[in-house]
């Protein structure tokens, strides 16, 4: 009986942990964009905000992106407002579907009153794989 209970608890724990690693498909109030749509926004000189950790940022990023790591408390309303107006377009990205940082950042930005938030769920790995510019 203890083994069965342990197996059930272990399954539930790992199922929940795995599910937590996958970012949502959409964020209420934000527009989810594909890599092609993100590239079009980039070509229109829309600001990209990279919410990844420092080591990921240092390894490469979308050219001209602003780094506001949302795990270190750097991604704040004041910090984002210093970069872009609340009525201007902004693309928020991280490391793809297994990185929930861009979803959290997009949700925060919408909550702070930013009205044109673009949630780039596929993030930097897809950007780079598509042959888009990186720095």
Specify if 120 maps to a domain.
yes
pLDDT in the model for residue 14:
41
Q: Quick one: which H or E segment has residue 9? A: helix 2-21
The predicted-structure confidence for 29-40, as pLDDT tens digits, reads as follows: 999 999 999 999
pLDDT in the model for residue 73:
84
First-to-last C-alpha distance (Å) of the chain: 56
Q: Which domain holds residue 105?
A: 23-129
Specify if 10 maps to a domain.
no
Above 60 in pLDDT, residue 51?
Answer: yes
Give me 35's structure tokens: 């890599």
| Residue 93 contacts residue 50 (beta carbons within 8 Å) | yes
- Exposure class string for 56-72: b at 16+ Cβ within 10 A, else e: bbeeebbeebbbbbbee
pLDDT in the model for residue 72:
78
Q: Count of domains in the chain?
A: 1
Residue 86 DSSP symbol: T
| Residue 104 contacts residue 52 (beta carbons within 8 Å) | no
Q: Residue 77: count other Cβ atoms within 10 Å of its Cβ.
A: 14
Specify if 18 maps to a domain.
no
Specify if 8 maps to a domain.
no
Above 80 in pLDDT, residue 90?
Answer: yes
DSSP-assigned beta bridge partners for residue 116:
89
């Amino acid at each position: 009986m203890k083994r069965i209970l342990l197996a059930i608890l272990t399954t539930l724990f790992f199922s929940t942990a795995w599910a937590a690693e996958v970012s949502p498909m959409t964020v209420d109030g934000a527009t989810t964009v594909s890599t092609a749509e993100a590239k079009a926004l980039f070509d229109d000189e829309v600001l990209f905000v990279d919410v990844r950790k420092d080591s990921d940022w240092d390894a490469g990023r979308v050219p001209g992106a602003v780094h506001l790591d949302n795990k270190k408390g750097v991604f704040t309303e004041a910090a984002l407002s210093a970069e872009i107006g609340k009525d201007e377009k902004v693309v928020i990205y991280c490391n793809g579907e297994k990185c929930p940082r861009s979803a959290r950042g997009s949700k925060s930005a919408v909550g702070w009153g930013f009205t044109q938030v673009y949630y780039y769920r596929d993030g930097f790995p897809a950007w780079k794989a598509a042959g888009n510019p990186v720095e």
